[in-house]
Amino acid sequence: MSGVDAVLRRLLRRAESARRRGDPRPVSMNMAKVEEYTGLRTLAALEHFHARIALAERMGALRAERDVNAGDGSRLVRLMVVDAAALAAAVGVELLEDRIAAAQALLVDWRDRFPVVEEVLSRWRDGGKVRGAGPEAAADLRDAAKAVAARREDHAYERVLRRESTRLFGDSKRLEKLTRWLELIATGELAAGPLPDVEVWAMLGLRREPQPFLVAGTGEADVAGMALPLVRPFIGLPVEQLRGLATGVRCVLSIENLASFHDAAQSADAGNVLLLYTGGMPSPAWRAAYRRVLAGIDPTARVFHWGDIDEGGFRIAATLAATAAEAGYGLRPWLMSPDQLPPAVRSDAATPNPAELERLCRWAARAGWEEVSTSLRRQPMLLEQEMLEPVLPAPDAS
φ and ψ of 94, to 5 deg: -90, 150
Domain ranges of the chain: 3-91, 96-207, 213-387
List, as own/partner pairs, every contact residues 18-26 make where C-beta atoms lie below 8 angstroms and the sequence separation is at least 24, other chains included.
19/84, 19/97, 20/125, 20/126, 20/127, 26/80, 26/81, 26/82
Structurally, what CATH architecture does the domain formed by 3-91 represent?
A: Orthogonal Bundle (1.10)
**pTM of this structure:** 0.76
Nearest 5 degrees, angle CA 269-CA 228-CA 260?
Answer: 35
* Nearest-angstrom CA–CA distance, 79 and 68: 15
**Sequence-ordered strand ranges (E) for 268-312:** 274-277, 302-306
Do 280 and 194 form a contact (C-beta atoms < 8 A)? Answer: no
Q: What are phi and psi of 304, to 5 degrees?
A: -120, 165
Q: Please state, in angstroms and as integers, the Cα–Cα distance from residue 12 to each residue in 70, 120, 136, 281, following that order.
A: 28, 22, 17, 44
pLDDT tens-place values along the chain, 398 residues long: 788 999 999 999 899 888 888 888 889 999 999 999 999 989 999 999 999 999 999 999 999 999 888 778 889 999 999 999 999 999 888 888 899 999 999 999 999 999 999 999 999 998 899 999 999 999 999 999 999 999 999 888 899 999 999 999 999 999 999 999 999 999 998 987 777 899 899 999 999 988 899 999 999 999 999 999 998 899 999 999 999 999 988 899 999 999 999 999 998 666 789 999 998 899 999 999 999 999 989 999 999 999 999 999 999 999 999 999 999 999 999 999 999 998 888 888 999 999 999 999 999 999 999 999 999 999 999 999 999 988 899 766 54
Check if CATH label 3.40.1360.10 holds for domain 213-387.
yes
